[in-house]
Amino acid sequence: MLLFFKSLPRLVRSASKDMHRHFSMTFSSIISIGIALLMALFIFVIYMNVGGFTNQIESEFMIQISLNPTLDKEEIMDISDSISSMTSVKKVKYSSKENELDALIKENGAMFEQYKGDDKNPLYDVLNVELKDNTKISKVTKKISKMDGVVNATYGGSAINTMISLFKNIRVWGSVFVGLMVFIAIFLIRNTIKMTILVRKDEIAIMRTVGAYNWYISFPFVLEGIFIGFWGALGPVLICIFGYTGLYHVMDGMFFSDMMSMLKPYPFVLYTSLSILLIGMVVGMLGSYLAVRKYLRWTR
């Protein structure tokens, strides 16, 4: 361990010198990795923003249960407790028919004020049910609709199911694409370091012959990969910080409508930038290690 730390300055200088010596390969690798990480960044930013307003929209997906007007308060509480005990149910909220009428007047205007009064109000008392997992909304709705005292239970039908399925697919395929871009970045760094090793294979053979440790031979290549990953990630990081912040202000923090709000730049861009930088360096280190290990399989 002491030998490693004593040798570290020389290993860093060796890695830096080799990057300058093979500048064309290093530069092309930095550009290629930067493009791969930039594509991953675009998908990640879209993924996070879609996830944000997806959660916002999904939080508004509720099952509305119309209750039989003959039920008393105790019977309503029993139905509410039965629904709350279901494993998929997150929250149940009661709303009287008077509250429902007030909400209707607020949304649609004074034309519905003529229905105020116990005898004129045609609406039902309702229970609004929020679920833990909205993919089960259809199944839970059917189960609730069969309960005694329930007039009907609705949630929006097939359109809501389609929307939930779409949001789920966006999340899954967004994660897959980000992973694919990271894999491509590893592949690019691995090939670059491999070409560098092939150019220096005679030098490596001499170092092994005179008794150099495997870590002494391989560490400069690993450092090169880390440096390449860092410089490759720097462009996407700057685009993330300045580009996303500018886009947020230009679009006034929303996509098309208030329902699709963008994530606030801070601390989102800081965490994202730090993640991209770390991913670039780790990818560089991993790509270099994969390239160099086949030449150092024997141990001293």
Q: How far is CA 140 from the centre of its chain?
A: 28
- pLDDT band for 271, please (50, 70, 90 cuts): very high
Q: Where are the domains of the chain?
A: 2-57+162-295, 62-154
Instruction: Looking at mean pLDDT, say which of 23-32, 41-50, 229-238 comes out highest.
Output: 229-238
Give the DSSP letter string of 103-123.
HHHHHH-GGGGGG-STTT--P
pLDDT at residue 300 tops 50 = no
pLDDT at residue 177 tops 90 = no
Asked which of 47-51, 89-93, 218-222, 248-252 is least confident by mean pLDDT, the reply is 47-51
Closest alpha carbon to 233 in 19, 27, 35, 25: 35
What is the mean pLDDT of the segment spanning 253-270? 78
Cα gap 83→214, rounded to integer Å: 65
Q: Which residue has the higher pLDDT, 226 or 29?
A: 226
How large a percentage of the chain has pLDDT more than 90?
12
Closest alpha carbon to 148 in 61, 65, 64: 65
Closest alpha carbon to 164 in 281, 248, 270, 60: 60
How large a percentage of the chain has pLDDT more than 70?
81
Cα gap 264→280, rounded to integer Å: 24
Q: What is the mean pLDDT of the chain?
A: 79
Of the candidate CATH numbers 3.30.70.100, 3.40.640.10, 3.30.70.3040, 3.40.50.720, the domain formed by 62-154 belongs to 3.30.70.3040
Res 20: pLDDT: 75
Question: What's the angle, vertex CA 267, arms to CA 263 and CA 268, rounded to 5?
Answer: 45
3-class DSSP state of 11: helix
Res 263: pLDDT: 84
What is the mean pLDDT of the segment spanning 218-228? 85
Do 231 and 224 contact (CB within 8 A), yes or no?
no
- pLDDT band for 218, please (50, 70, 90 cuts): confident
The per-residue pLDDT for range 76-98, each reduced to its tens digit, is 899 999 999 998 888 899 998 88
- pLDDT band for 9, please (50, 70, 90 cuts): confident
Give the DSSP letter string of 234-292.
HHHHHIIIIIIHHHHHHTTTBSSSTTSBPPPHHHHHHHHHHHHHHHHHHHHHHHHHHHH
3-class DSSP state of 95: strand
What is the mean pLDDT of the segment spanning 285-295? 75
> In sequence order, which residues have a C-beta less than 8 Å from that of residue 279 and are 6 or more positions away?
37, 40, 182, 185, 229, 233
Q: What is the DSSP letter of 44?
A: H
Number of alpha helices (DSSP H) and beta strands (DSSP E) in the chain: 10, 4
Q: Which helix (H) or strand (E) holds 102?
A: helix 97-108
pLDDT at residue 226 tops 60 = yes
